[in-house]
Amino acid sequence: MQGDRILLEGIQVPAALGVTSAERRMRRPVLLDLEVFRDLRGAGRSDRIGQTLHYGRIYDVVADVASNIEHKLVEALAERIARAVLSKFDADAVTVTVRKPKPIAGVLEYTGVQISRRRDDLDGD
């Protein structure tokens, strides 16, 4: 995707994530990156927070979805985060990267997914 974007990188939150219920109960940290697409010219010209999106509120929504809702798949977590951001904020699109550290002991640094969703993707939901 092209255009202006707000970046939130390196978010680390505990998540109830895993195929088995035992894994979900462990609430291990996941690493999240977001690119939130929106025209930022107004904020750049005016230097007013009302012309942009509040980064802290975006973080709160992301942390809430990751920490308080169980997911079996990283794909499902990424999808739910993308939909939450698009439904709660005036963003045109969002790219979400989810990394699950050490999913297989000693073999991988992390597994993960990256998805991109547009506001239009919410139509009909």
**20-58: pLDDT as tens digits:** 888 888 889 999 999 999 999 999 999 999 999 999 999
What tens digit of pLDDT does each residue of 64-85 get?
999 999 999 999 999 999 999 9
Residues 6+ apart with CB under 8 A from 112: 31, 74, 97, 98, 99, 100
Domain ranges of the chain: 5-122
The CATH number of domain 5-122, selected from 1.10.1060.10, 3.40.50.20, 3.30.1130.10, 3.30.360.10: 3.30.1130.10
Under a CB-based contact definition with an 8 Å cutoff, are residues 97 and 32 in contact? yes
Location of structure tokens 């996941």 = 30
Give residue 121's pLDDT.
84
What tens digit of pLDDT does each residue of 101-119 get?
987 777 788 899 999 999 9
Catalytic residues: 100
